[in-house]
A and B are shown apart, each in its own frame.
Chain A
Amino acid sequence: MKRKWLIPIVILLLFLSGCGNEVEIIDDISLVTVVGYDKGEDGKLIGTVSIPIYNPDFSINTEQYTSQAHLINENRDKLNAQSSKPLVSGKLLVALYSKELAREGLADLLDNLRRDPSIAANVYLAIVDGNVKELMDKQYSNVDLGIFLSRLIEQNIKTESLPKTNLHLFLNDYLEEGKDPFLPIIKKRKDTVEITQLGLFKGDNYVEAINYKAGFMFKGLSGNFKNASYTLKFKKDAYVFIQNLKSKRKVEVKHPDGRPQITVNLNLNGIIKEYNRTKVTGKNIVTDIEKKMEKEIQVKAEELIRRCQELGVDSFGIGEKVRQHSRSWTKEEWQTIYPELDIKVSVKVDIQESGVTK
């Protein structure tokens, strides 16, 4: 038979290939779920990793390792020496950076995340107000730190208080012409972690933080949202809670006299969920609420845009919109004219339902 030689060769092959691949059996590796970086001495990085330990009784502990080095991967080597099982980053969920590092620029640090194919594109990034190592040193609930932090961010995105963010979107904004990225800033409270601010970036450098309460406005200005809520002070002591707020953003660019003139149109609609002064009524109360809300949002939005303009930060991608309507757009030119541009906001609110009562 001709096939006689086949079997020994196949067997040989199996032996050959058996030793080739890196086996990463799930219980023989340490899954890094959070990495954090602090600024160390003389240009070094202090890298901390957090690893969940799964106990046979289904409870979870987390372990932290810290070391100092110049390079991220050098750091990883040093950390590997401390861990009983090899560290792998395929299940990385959150990457944290200290404010100082962010101020110096994240591009070089993120390059590592981007280059490694085992790291997911939807890793959450966040800036830590305070010491990163200190934040990571504590187990905040009975889940792993990575899952805890990623759920924290995810939940805030779902409730529309935080604009969508992850590694891919950060890189996308950073590498887009005419748009600047942002990141959430988290802070350790006593027994928990909280998103406190939004960090605005210019390029990859962290510039300024805005209050997290403006997150709603920030989200509306940078894109659409679907399910937000808003509390409006209607009259003295009369508050309205509006829910299921949907928003559509449209950026109009006109060039009446060579200079771009920009109007950001916001179309919002929602339903009234709660109203604490039912006695305070009027003829067209819904219309009044709409009017009041339009005014309030317009003022707040314009304020936010002005603030960004002053900082020279284009977080809402207005430059990108202008670029899409012009063939002669250049980055340099845009950066010079952006701070003095006249950007208007026009808001339209439509309240569709008021619950089951009038």
Chain B
Amino acid sequence: MKVQVNDQNKISPNLVFFLIHAVQVGVGILGFQRYIAEKAGYDAWISVLLAGIGGSIIIKIMYSMLLKEEGDLIEIHRTAFGNTIGNILSVLFLIYYFMMALAVLRTYIEVVQVWMFPQLSIFPYAFAFLGLVYYIVAGGIRTVTGIAFMGVVFPLYLILTIVFPLRYADFGDLLPIFSHAPIDILAGVKSTTLSYLGFTTLLMYFPFINDKRKSHIWAQLGFQFTTILYLLVAVVTFAFFSKEQLATTIWPTLTMFKIVEMPFVERFEYIGISSWALIILPNVCISVWAFSRGLKRVFHMQQYTGLKISIIALFILMLPFKDRQAIDQLNNYVSTIGFYVLYAYIPCLAVVYHVVRKVRDKHEA
């Protein structure tokens, strides 16, 4: 069934590029190199590429459902499983969106705590940050898209800093290629998942896209831009660090920032970490938007109410995650769930959905 939205709230198809890319790049890119190298060694860049291809297929699958339904995830669930079960599944999915926002925000605050302000009290900062998120999400999908755009464009300058580690890079470290078994490389694909997550929010904002068919190519481009970015970062990281060194570095990307030295700024990581808030912001905003929009669609409540619920819940649930282990655990959960959602649940859903539609269409005809 078609989901109707006000024309005024629609976004042009090319902005899907930013929505997809912005929600993917978050805290994952700060430390994914270590996780993937643990599994696939310095062949892990192949895993990054494979994950890029995998994601591309998943996006295609999502579009096949969305274009047919002309609606969102909730509608797809209802069509495939009926109202009750469909709604339950939708709620589970929404919780996953919520966990994504939580993991990203909490990890970012941890990074700030470790690198800049060990004594930073979480509450005031989280309050200010979530206030900002509220302000943005209350502006609707157009403002959220705007912040996604800004969150991609402004921090683009950070890519330039890759030049500095290159001076210490030894690309010979990547040799010999294919020294790991294919199974290890596939395990590496699983480890990259956290950094690729989030683009499933497409399932929620799809009805808001003008010219939906055209947006497919932009979604793919946005995803591939992420892949290229990760590939670049991974390769430079592997060339910059020796294996053992990487294995004991929690946030290799930030450690690479440390080597950046400019005439007017000696230690770039402080600027890098601060600027990272701009990368985190669209991430949290899109997830929170998807969550609150989902609550509205499932429970027919005001989206304002849904938004307030999600902000307060984020604020409170930040409490139990106090140390590195807990946060790591949270990220692992999100990553694992995300992996199965992407590569198991969505293909299965697509199969069920298309079968149900076919049967129904035949029935109606």
Contact = CB atoms under 8 A, between A and B. Distances in A.
A and B touch in the complex (CB under 8 A): yes
A21 interface: yes
B258 A120 contact: yes
A205 B242 CA distance: 19
B94 to A, nearest CB: 26
A99 B248 CA distance: 27
Given A320-B172, A324-B175, A326-B176, A21 B266 contact: no
Given A16-B123, A16-B124, A22-B117, A120 B255 contact: no
A20 B121 contact: yes
B242 A172 contact: yes
B168 A169 contact: yes
A255 interface: no
- Looking at chain B's contact residues, the main secondary structure is loop
A157 to B, nearest CB: 13
Contacts of B241: 172
Contacts of A13: 124, 127-128
B242 A177 contact: yes
Nearest to A251: B172
A172 B248 CA distance: 12
A117 B242 contact: no
B244 interface: yes
Contacts of B53: none
A33 to B, nearest CB: 13
Contact of A175 (B118, B119, B245, B266): B245
B242 A176 contact: yes
A120 B120 contact: no
B261 A16 contact: no
A177 to B, nearest CB: 7
A121 interface: yes
Nearest to B244: A175
A171 B168 CA distance: 12
A20 B124 contact: yes
A172 B245 contact: yes
Interface in B237-252: 241-245, 248
A17 B125 contact: yes
Interface in A306-327: 320-321, 324-327
Interface of A: 9, 13-14, 16-17, 20-22, 90, 117, 120-122, 168-169, 171-173, 175-177, 179, 320-321, 324-327
28 contacts: A9-B127, A14-B124, A16-B121, A16-B123, A16-B124, A17-B124, A20-B117, A20-B119, A20-B121, A20-B124, A21-B117, A21-B119, A21-B120, A117-B115, A120-B258, A121-B255, A121-B258, A122-B258, A168-B259, A172-B168, A172-B242, A175-B242, A175-B244, A176-B242, A176-B244, A321-B172, A324-B176, A326-B176
